[in-house]
A = this chain, B = another copy of it.
């Protein structure tokens, strides 16, 4: 529907490059992602793709945004489908993240793994999509805080940390209490650690009968540690 046929053709080709890149990423990983291979599969000589993508890094950026968007959409949908209780929403978020990560290990690694050397995702193109999940997590915790679904037995946040916590909430464009930010940081890093452990195979060579249950164990405990409980509980 947009503009000239040439512009539409360009959009189409760019989409093809992205989807081929996505498949290659899944197969060989970010570090071995090759523009030439993408060009080959596109049926075009290598220099031609440089008409669409400035360099390999920009292709990576395209894939980063693409992955963040898909993850964000799936997590949004899962949390939406969960009930209104904060515990359920947190659990849905955790499981949706894990499910996506297990299904798309290379893309998860691109987003949350060790940074690709020499490549830094340009903030202006990735932060918006990249902070969706953690922002949602903060909102869930904030909701629990407001509705009284969060135990207030946890120790208060030390004053020296306030500036740093404020920096994080600025980053997320959120106006929530320090306590909520602290809980979010804690939950997000623990969740992220559990997912990374499974996806990156830090459990060693052992294969597990029920890795999802193992993850749920950790996720449950994170919820407990957060102090989340059911509305009437």
Contacts and interface: CB of A to CB of B under 8 A. Distances in A.
Given A31-B117, A161-B210, 7 more contacts: A28-B117, A110-B114, A154-B221, A185-B214, A189-B196, A190-B193, A190-B218
A91 to B, nearest CB: 15
A112 B192 CA distance: 13
Interface stretch (A53-61, A82-90, A139-147, A165-173): A165-173
Interface of A: 28-32, 106, 109-110, 112-118, 123, 127, 130-131, 154-155, 157-158, 160-161, 163-164, 167-168, 170-171, 182, 185-186, 188-194, 196-197, 200-211, 213-214, 217-218, 220-222, 224-225
A90 to B, nearest CB: 15
Secondary structure type dominating chain A contacts: helix
Contacts of A194: 189-190, 193
Contacts of A190: 189-190, 193-194, 218, 222
B117 A32 contact: yes
A168 B206 contact: yes
A216 B194 CA distance: 19
A200 B112 contact: yes
Nearest to A27: B117
A21 to B, nearest CB: 14
Contacts of A130: 204
A115 B196 contact: no
B28 A186 contact: no
A162 to B, nearest CB: 10
Contacts of A167: 206-208
Contacts of A32: 31, 117-118
A197 B164 CA distance: 15
Given A185-B218, A217-B182, A218-B186, A168 B200 contact: no
Contacts of A158: 213, 217
Nearest to A109: B114
B206 A171 contact: yes
Contacts of A196: 112, 189, 192-193, 196
